[in-house]
């Protein structure tokens, strides 16, 4: 079996670790990145990770060679690199919004750059690996999965570790193992909620939803930073995923970024530049252990500071050092990707939250809308577990966000200013025509593209 990773970002070693220590470890793993030397660097870092396993790692010179005859294509691309994200987020700040890579103006700009490239890649998969599944991690994941689903015949699922991270924190708050807790979840990518929680017992299940809503300390423990007040969560009767912060507390997020004098992407540019230099030096010297130590330090600083800038105005560079083993985390990028691929190879179904075509999972949305819902997934593909309507507290935002996503895809394919302004104006966090027009002009002026 051949697995192809398109886009060898700094989480690639985590994926190599996950694949090497799973039932997929006899695969051929092909790494491809448009940046010269990046796939080779990730391969060099991956070799000691995959040592003593049958996993074979290669770095084909061209994208068609990487994709050809693959069973799975993991897409994790970032056209323009982290520098483009940082520019998007800074412009969003200047236009009066929080700077964020998947929501608001920053998310729109990223979608505009990424949709055409993702479609080009998907059409290559259709031609060179027609039976392959695309496992999409490319952000904005919901929009990219929707675009590929709507405009190609490629088989695709979208994955994200945000829901599983929330489920994990809920299980920790309840003092239970993850496999003992079941959460009812619904929404779109980076726009999802939990509205019921059950714990499996020896005699059946216990509904713990009210217990969670009535426990302020437990509610606060569900997030890595102070994002939502318990009063907000109780008023909604919904537990939001962390990215709802950029809708429910947009002004606070922006104020904290201004206080810190940075956006997340601006700090990641600096963090990434430093670790890439460290990795290249260590690999050049043949110091695999030194490279892995530098990589762990980087991941720990990146992970431990997540959402702290937006939630508290705290820079990643002032966070205390932590001594975690990021390869063994209970959740994360590598686990969700490996779980999805293993499930697509299995005869018995697994339960996962995935971005899939709606087909009635959320009754308020169109059948061909891509939604993020619990699914059963096996070698026959994913199928949603239940059909439901949206709770009133989430209905308006979800429907308007999905309308915006479709307009954002249309704008990315048309390259027309009027369609871009219409799409950004329709974004639930914008809603002002002149502001949207000014923001589009800043985002796409020749010096910024």
Bridge-based pairing of strands 181-188 and 191-201 is antiparallel
The reported pTM is 0.96
Residue 215 lies in a domain: yes
Q: Which residue has the tokens 């003593």?
A: 52
Contact 257, 263 (CB under 8 A): yes
Residue 52 lies in a domain: no
Q: What is the Rg, in whole angstroms, of the alpha carbon atoms belonging to the chain?
A: 21
Same domain, 447 and 341: yes
Peptide bond into 140 cis (omega under 30): yes
Looking at 201, 227, 248, the residue that finishes a domain is 248
Residue 11 lies in a domain: no
Answer whether residue 369 shows pLDDT above 70. Answer: yes
Same domain, 301 and 357: no
Tokens of 155: 């088989």
Same domain, 448 and 391: yes
Query: What pLDDT, on a 0 to 100 scale, did the predictor assign at position 445?
Result: 85
- Beta-carbon contacts of 183 under 8 Å, excluding residues fewer than 6 positions away, are 166, 167, 170, 194, 196, 197
For the chain, percent of residues with pLDDT exceeding 90: 93
Same domain, 441 and 347: yes
Tokens of 83: 């520098």
Answer whether residue 46 shows pLDDT above 80. Answer: yes
Burial readout 111-141 (b: 16 or more C-beta within 10 A, e: otherwise): bbbbbebbbebbebbbebbeebbbbbbbbbb
Same domain, 151 and 172: no
- Beta-carbon contacts of 383 under 8 Å, excluding residues fewer than 6 positions away, are 375, 376, 377
Count of domains for the chain: 3
Answer whether residue 382 shows pLDDT above 90. Answer: yes
For the chain, percent of residues with pLDDT exceeding 70: 99
Q: Which residue has the tokens 């996962």?
A: 352
Q: Of 8, 22, 11, give the one whose Cα is nearest residue 344.
A: 22
Looking at 302, 328, 354, the residue that finishes a domain is 328
Instruction: Identify the domain containing residue 230 by its residue range.
Output: 163-248
Residue 61 lies in a domain: no
Same domain, 243 and 268: no
Mean pLDDT, residues 352-373 taken together: 98
Same domain, 220 and 282: no
Residue that wins the pLDDT comparison between 433 and 327: 433
- Going by pLDDT thresholds of 50, 70 and 90, the confidence category of residue 263 is very high
Residue 243 lies in a domain: yes
Looking at 297, 328, 359, the residue that finishes a domain is 328
Same domain, 384 and 437: yes
pLDDT digits over 168-197, tens only?
999 999 999 999 999 999 999 999 999 999
Residue 368 sits in a domain whose CATH number is 3.90.1820.10
Q: Which residue has the tokens 């068609």?
A: 64
Same domain, 356 and 433: yes
Residue 186 lies in a domain: yes
Same domain, 346 and 415: yes
Same domain, 383 and 445: yes
Residue 45 lies in a domain: no
Query: What values do phi and psi take at 23, rounded to 5?
Result: -70, -5
Answer whether residue 334 shows pLDDT above 90. Answer: no
- Distance between CA atoms of residues 384 and 386, nearest Å: 6
Query: What pLDDT, on a 0 to 100 scale, did the predictor assign at position 448?
Result: 53
Bridge-based pairing of strands 370-378 and 381-384 is antiparallel
Answer whether residue 449 shows pLDDT above 60. Answer: no
Query: What pLDDT, on a 0 to 100 scale, did the predictor assign at position 323?
Result: 82
Distance from chain centroid for Cα 188: 12
Mean pLDDT, residues 60-87 taken together: 98
Mean pLDDT, residues 55-81 taken together: 98
Mean pLDDT, residues 78-101 taken together: 97
Same domain, 117 and 185: no
- Maximum CA pair distance of the chain? 65
Query: What pLDDT, on a 0 to 100 scale, did the predictor assign at position 419?
Result: 98
Mean pLDDT, residues 415-443 taken together: 97
- Distance between CA atoms of residues 242 and 12, nearest Å: 24
Q: Mean of the per-residue pLDDT values for the chain?
A: 96
pLDDT digits over 120-165, tens only?
999 999 999 999 999 999 999 999 999 999 999 999 999 999 999 9
Residue 100 lies in a domain: yes
Query: What pLDDT, on a 0 to 100 scale, did the predictor assign at position 447?
Result: 56
């Amino acid at each position: 079996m051949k697995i192809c990773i398109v886009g060898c970002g700094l989480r690639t070693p985590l994926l190599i670790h996950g694949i090497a220590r799973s039932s997929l470890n006899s695969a051929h793993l092909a790494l491809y990145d448009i940046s010269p030397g990046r796939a080779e660097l990730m391969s060099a870092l991956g070799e000691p990770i995959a040592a003593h396993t049958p996993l074979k790692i290669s770095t084909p010179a061209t994208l068609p060679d990487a994709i050809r005859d693959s069973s799975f294509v993991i897409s994790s691309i970032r056209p323009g690199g982290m520098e483009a994200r940082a520019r998007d987020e800074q412009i969003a700040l200047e236009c009066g919004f929080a700077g964020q890579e998947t929501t608001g103006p920053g998310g729109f700009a990223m979608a505009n750059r990424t949709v055409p490239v993702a479609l080009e890649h998907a059409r290559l998969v259709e031609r060179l690996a027609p039976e392959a599944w695309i496992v999409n991690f490319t952000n904005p994941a919901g929009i990219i999965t929707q675009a590929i689903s709507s405009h190609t015949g490629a088989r695709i699922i979208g994955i994200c570790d945000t829901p599983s991270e929330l489920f994990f924190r809920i299980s920790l708050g309840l003092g239970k193992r993850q496999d003992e807790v079941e959460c009812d979840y619904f929404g779109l990518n980076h726009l999802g909620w939990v509205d019921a929680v059950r714990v499996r017992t020896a005699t059946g299940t216990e509904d713990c939803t009210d217990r969670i809503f009535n426990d302020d300390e437990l509610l606060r423990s569900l997030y890595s930073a102070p994002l939502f007040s318990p009063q907000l969560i109780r008023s909604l009767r919904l537990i939001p995923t962390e990215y709802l912060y950029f809708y429910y507390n947009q002004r606070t997020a922006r104020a904290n970024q201004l206080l810190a004098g940075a956006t997340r992407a601006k700090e990641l540019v600096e963090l990434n530049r430093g670790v890439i230099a460290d990795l290249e030096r260590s690999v050049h010297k043949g110091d695999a252990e030194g490279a892995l130590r530098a990589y762990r330090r980087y991941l720990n600083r990146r992970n431990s500071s997540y959402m702290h800038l937006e939630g508290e105005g705290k820079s990643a560079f002032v966070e205390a050092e932590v001594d975690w083993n990021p390869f063994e985390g209970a959740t994360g990028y590598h686990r969700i990707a490996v779980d999805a691929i293993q499930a697509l190879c299995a005869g018995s179904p697994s339960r996962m939250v995935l971005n899939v075509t709606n087909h009635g999972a959320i009754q308020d949305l169109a059948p061909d809308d891509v939604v993020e819902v619990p699914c059963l997934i096996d070698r026959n593909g994913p199928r949603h577990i239940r059909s439901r309507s949206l709770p009133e507290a989430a209905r308006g935002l979800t429907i308007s966000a999905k309308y915006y996503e479709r307009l954002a895809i249309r704008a990315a394919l048309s390259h027309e200013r009027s369609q871009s302004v219409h799409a950004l104006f329709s974004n639930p966090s914008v809603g002002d025509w002149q502001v949207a027009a000014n923001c589009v002009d800043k985002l796409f002026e020749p010096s910024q593209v």
